[in-house]
Amino acid sequence: MATHKTRMLIIGSGPAGLSAAIYGARAMMEPIVVQGLQPGGQLTITTDVENYPGFRDVIQGPWLMQEMEAQAVHVGTRMMWDTIVEVDLSGPPFRAIGDSGDIYEGDTLVIATGAQAKWLGVPGEMELGGKGVSACATCDGFFYRGKKVAVIGGGNTAVEEALYLTNHSDDVTLIHRRDELRSEKILQERLFANPKITVLWNKTVERFEGDPLAGGLTHLVLKDTVTGETSDFAADGAFVAIGHAPATELFKGKLEMDASGYLVVEPGTPKTAIPGVFACGDVMDHTYRQAVTAAGTGCMAALDAERFVSGLNVDLQGHVEEAEAAG
């Protein structure tokens, strides 16, 4: 059992955590990143990435995260293979205890624990993941241009995904287990007014079928929640849109969260209500949930953490005024 001390402790190693680490290391903060249960975050289970700036060709999610980690290490980050099981936010220093028994102390704490898409948990879902089954239309919709797609769900996420997919497909079907949607009325109005979208009511997905090695998804097996009858529904792509679950269990009762469990930050910043504690990436962002936005908020968290440690906990305008006064 050992104690590791740093000026910046980062929990989570997806695009947000690693971007924070890169900026923190370059500011001589000597950050420690505790990688968690899924090193690299959600991108490690994303195959083709076509929308991350800087790459003209499709890249692989796991490769991108390996490169980010290598960059973070190269500029001075310490990567720790551990999972945090308990935190004490009464600092600074802020303390975290790992599953290994090791203790991590940081003058600042950057929370980048991310979120996970909720899945249906039915046969074929994981096997056909990235091969026709996805949980992110804005990530993968482009690959289904001109094809037949289905969206499973009935809340805001599902309706937004269905509407987004009409940019790529003229044949979008929303599959919902009830006979009415839970989404906001204005979204429902847009959905029902769109001629490219059909709604299948009172249907649940029993399983996804296809060949992961050849062609991917071919159809969904549906069950009628009223009659109990099963039927096949042919589709090239299926998007599970039943929401996301932020990884915030560690912080319950210690940091403010919204109704869905996302950490609450000061608008436009990664600052939590506790000075020196910052949240970035999908753990605080239920709107965009993209690698590039996560990386951006990771950068912001590192810059704010550096200012906090320097005792310059002021906004950018304050820095400008100080510079003018000095000049």
Residues marked as catalytic? 136, 139-140
**H-run or E-run covering 66:** helix 61-74
Q: Find out whether 92 and 276 touch, Cβ atoms under 8 Å.
A: yes
- Residue type, position 101, single letter: G
| Integer Cα distance of 300 and 24 in angstroms | 10
Query: Which residue reads 């046969």 in tokens?
Result: 123
3-state secondary structure of 83: coil
Q: 75 CB contacts (<8 Å, ≥6 apart)?
A: 22, 25, 26
Q: How many residues does the chain have?
A: 327
Name the token pair of 255: 């940091």
124: alpha, beta or left, given left = phi > 0 and alpha = psi -120 to 50? left
The candidate with the shortest Cα–Cα distance to 174, out of 191, 152, 192, 155, is 152
Burial of 64 (0-12, 13-18, 19+ CB in 10 A): buried
For residue 319, give every residue at least 6 positions away whose Cβ sits within 8 Å of its Cβ, in sequence order, or none.
312
Separation of alpha carbons 147 and 191, rounded Å: 19
Measured over all CA atoms, what is the biggest interatomic distance in the chain, rounded to whole angstroms?
Answer: 78
C-alpha 131/C-alpha 143 separation (Å) is: 10
Q: How many CA atoms does the CB half-sphere of 96 hold within 13 Å?
A: 30
